[in-house]
Structure 1
Amino acid sequence: MKVSVILCFFFAFYANPLLAQEKDSLTIALDEAVVTGTRIERQKNKIAASISTISRETIDRSGEINVLPLLTYQVPGFLLNDRSITGFGIGPGSGGNISIRGISGTPNNRVLVLIDGQPQFMGIFAHPIADAYSASDIERVEVQRGAASVLYGSNAMGGAINLITRKGTDEGWNGSVNVGYGSFRTFMGNAHVSFNQGKFHSMVAINRNSTTGFRNDAEDSFENTTGYLKMGYAISPGLSLSGDMQLADATYFQPGPTVAPLETDKREYLRGRAALSLRNDWGNVSGALLYFHNFGEHTFQTGFSSTDQNQGITFYQNLSVLPNQILTIGIDYKRYGGKAFNETLPPPARVGLGTQFTIHETDLYLQAQQELGEKISFNAGLRRVSNSQYGQKLLPGFGFAYRIKQNFTLKASSSKAFRSPSIVDLFLFPTSNESLRPEELWSHEAGFQTLILDNKLSLEMMAFMAKGSNLIQINPMITPSIGSNSGSFLNKGLESQFRFKTAESLQVIFNYAYVDVDENILFAPKHNLSLQTDLQLSKFSIVPSIQHISGLRNSLTETDKNENYTLINLKSMYSISHKINIYITGKNLLNTSYQLEKGFPMPGINVMTGIHLKF
Structure 2
Amino acid sequence: MQKQFKFSPVAIALWGLLPAATVWAQSPQNDVLIIAPAVIDSNSADDMAGFRTTVTSRQIEDLNAIDAAAALRRTPGVSISRFNPVGSFGGEEGGAVYIRGMGSSRPGSEIKTYIDGVPFYMGIWNHPLLDLLPLNGMARLNVIKGPQLHEFGNTFGAIALEPKKARAADGVSGEVSVRGGSFGTVAEQLDVSGRQGDWNFALAQGHASSDGHRPDAKGRLNNVMGQLGYRIDSQWSIRLLAMNSSNTATDPGHQDTQANKGQTFNTRGDLLALTVAHQHDKVQGSFKVYSTEGYGEQNPGLKSNFKTTGLRWRESLQPWQGGQVQAGLDVDKIGGDVPTVGFVAADLRVSSPFVAVSHKLDLTGGWSATPSVGVRHYSHNVLKSESAHQAGLVLAQGERLALRVQMSKGVNYPGLDAAVLSHLMAPALGNTWKSLGAERLDHQELGVSWKPSSDTSVDLALFKDRVKDRYIFAFPPAVSAPGFVHLGTYDVTGTELTWAQSMGKSWQMFAGWTHLNSSKSDLPYAPQDSLSVGINWQEGPWRASADAQHQTRMTVLGQARTVSTNTVQVNGFTVANLRLGYKVPQLGQRGEVFAAIENLLDKTYTFREGYPMPGRSLQVGVKASF
After TM superposition, the score normalised by the length of structure 1 is 0.87
Q: What displacement does 1:405 show?
A: 5.5
* CA deviation map 1:223-248 (0-9, x unaligned): 12101111111111111111111111
Distance in 2 (alpha carbons) for counterparts of 1:151 and 1:537 = 40
Counterpart CA distance in 2 for 1:152 and 1:221 is 35
The answer on 1:305 being equivalent to 2:298 is no
Q: Specify the alignment match of 1:49 in structure 2.
A: 50
Measure the CA separation in 1 of the matches of 2:202 and 2:455. Answer: 35
Q: 1:399 aligns with which of 366, 378, 392?
A: 392
| Compared CA separation, residues 303 and 84, structure 1 to 2 (3 A) | closer
The offset of 1:319, in angstroms, is: 2.1
**Paired residue for 2:175?**
176
- The DSSP-based 3-state class of the residue aligned with 1:57 is helix
DSSP 3-state at the match of 1:434: helix
In the TM superposition, 1:215-234 aligns within 5 A as 215-216=214-215, 219-234=216-231
Does 1:201 find its partner at 2:237? Answer: no
How far apart are 1:337 and its partner, in Å? 1.6
* d(CA) in 2 for partners of 1:149, 1:54: 22
**Counterpart amino acid of 1:205?**
A
Higher deviation after alignment, 599-608 or 534-543: 599-608
Q: Does 1:546 align with 2:548?
A: yes
Q: Which amino acid aligns with 1:525?
A: P
Superposed, 1:508-547 pairs within 5 Å as: 508-519=509-520, 520-547=522-549
In the TM superposition, what is the alpha-carbon distance from 1:559 to its structure 2 partner? 5.2
**Equivalence for 1:372:** 361
Q: Which residue of 1 aligns with 2:315?
A: 317
Whether the aligned pair in 1 keeps the contact of 2:68 and 2:130 (CA below 8 Å) is no
Which residue in the other structure is 1:422 paired with? Answer: 415
- Give 1:604 deviation, angstroms: 1.5
Tell me the CA shift for residue 601 of structure 1. 2.2
CA shift for structure 1 position 411: 0.5
Work out whether residues 473 and 487 of structure 1, in 8 Å CA contact, stay in contact via their aligned partners in 2: no
Name the CA distance, whole Å, in 2 between partners of 1:27 and 1:333. 38
Alignment of 1:137-148 (within 5 A): 137-148=137-148
Paired residue type of 1:103:
M
For 1:132 and 1:203, locate their aligned partners in 2 and report how far apart those are by CA, in whole Å.
19
Question: Structure 1: how far apart are the matches of 2:181 and 2:358?
Answer: 50
C-alpha displacement at 1:26, in angstroms? 9.2
3-state SS, counterpart of residue 136 of structure 2: helix
Question: What do the CA deviations read for 1:297-354 (whole angstroms, capped 9, x no partner)?
Answer: 3333214112111111111222222221111221111100210022xxxxxxx5xx33
Q: Which amino acid aligns with 2:571?
A: E
Amino acid at match of 1:532: G
In the other structure, the counterpart of 2:583 is 575
What is the rounded CA distance, in whole Å, between the counterparts of 2:484 and 2:175 in structure 1?
49
1:242–1:141 distance in 2 versus 1, CA, 3 Å: same
Moved more, 227-236 or 431-440: 431-440
Question: Per the alignment, do residues 533 and 63 of structure 1 end up closer, same or farther by CA in structure 2, a change over 3 Å counting?
Answer: same
Structure 1 position 117, deviation (Å): 2.3
What is the one-letter code of the residue matched to 1:164?
Answer: E
Output the CA distance in 2 between the equivalents of 1:561 and 1:600: 12
Which of 246, 250, 253 is equivalent to 1:253? Answer: 250
The SS at the match of 2:610 is coil
Aligned equivalents of 1:135, 1:606: Cα separation in 2: 21
* Partner residue, 1:242: 239
Deviations 1:170-209 (A, max 9, x none): 5222211111111110111111222211221101111001
1:214, 1:482 → 2: CA distance?
43
Which residue matches 2:25?
Answer: none
**Equivalent residues of 1:151, 1:383 under 8 A apart:** no
Cα drift, residue 50 of structure 1: 1.6
Q: Matches of 1:450 and 1:330 in 2, distance apart?
A: 32
Query: Does the Cα contact within 8 Å between 1:404 and 1:410 map onto a contact in 2?
Result: no
| Structure 1 residues 150 and 387, CA gap change in structure 2 (3 angstroms) | farther
What is residue 39 of structure 1 aligned with on the other side?
none
State the distance in 1 between where 2:566 and 2:92 align.
20
Task: Give the SS at the match of 1:85.
Answer: coil
Q: Does 1:81 align with 2:49?
A: no
Distance in 2, matches of 1:356 and 1:480, equals: 25
* Letter of the structure 2 residue corresponding to residue 583 of structure 1: F
Aligned to 2:505: 504
Match of 1:213 in 2: 212
Report % sequence identity: 20
Q: Which residue of 2 aligns with 1:472?
A: 471
CA distance in 2, matches of 1:494, 1:136: 32
Q: What stretches of structure 1 of length at least 5 have no aligned partner?
A: 1-24, 35-42, 343-349
Aligned-pair distance for 1:120?
2.2
Q: How many Å apart are 1:27 and its aligned residue?
A: 11
- Partners of 1:255 and 1:27 in 2: CA distance: 36
C-alpha distance in structure 2 between counterparts of 1:129 and 1:437, whole Å: 25
Distance across 1 between alignment mates of 2:417 and 2:54? 33
- Counterpart mapping for 1:349-388 below 5 A: 350=341, 353-373=342-362, 375-388=368-381
The CA distance in 1 between the partners of 2:536 and 2:620, in whole Å, is 18
Report the residue type matching 1:486 in the other structure: L
Query: What do the CA deviations read for 1:230-275 (whole angstroms, capped 9, x no partner)?
Result: 1111111111111111111112222333334334323322111111
Code of the residue aligned with 2:534 in structure 1: it is Q
Deviations 1:149-175 (A, max 9, x none): 4531112x1x22221111221522221
C-alpha separation in 2, matches of 1:296 and 1:45: 34
Change (3 A) 1:119 1:561: closer
Q: How does 1:439-454 map to 2 (within 5 A)?
A: 439-452=439-452, 454=453
CA distance in 1, matches of 2:66, 2:498: 25
Structure 1 position 567, deviation (Å): 0.4
* Cα deviations by residue, 1:536-595 (Å, 9 ceiling, x for unpaired): 121112111110010311257665555211001111111122342111111112222222
Structural RMSD (CA)? 2.4
Residues 33 and 426 of structure 1, relative CA distance in 2, 3 Å threshold: same
- Equivalent residue for 1:90? 90
CA contact (8 A) 2:47 2:372 kept: no
Aligned in 2, Cα 1:57/1:562: closer, same or farther, shift over 3 Å?
closer
Are residues 114 and 93 of structure 1, via their aligned partners in 2, closer, same or farther at CA, if it must alter by over 3 Å?
closer
AA matched with 1:423: L
Q: CA deviation at 1:506?
A: 0.8
Residue identity in the other structure for 2:516: V
1:4 match: none
Change (3 A) 1:113 1:354: closer
The alpha-carbon distance between structure 1 residues 240 and 89, as it changes in their structure 2 partners (threshold 3 A), is farther
Change (3 A) 1:104 1:544: same
Deviation, structure 1 residue 528: 1.2
Q: Which amino acid aligns with 1:571?
A: R
Q: Which moved more, 1:457-466 or 1:119-128?
A: 119-128
- Cα drift, residue 406 of structure 1: 4.3
**Contact 2:150/2:327 (CA < 8 Å) preserved in 1?**
no
Alpha-carbon spacing, 1:444–1:604, altered in 2? closer, same or farther (3 Å): same
Give the number of equivalent residue pairs. Answer: 564
Indicate the residue corresponding to 2:13 in structure 1. none
Secondary structure, aligned partner of 2:385: strand
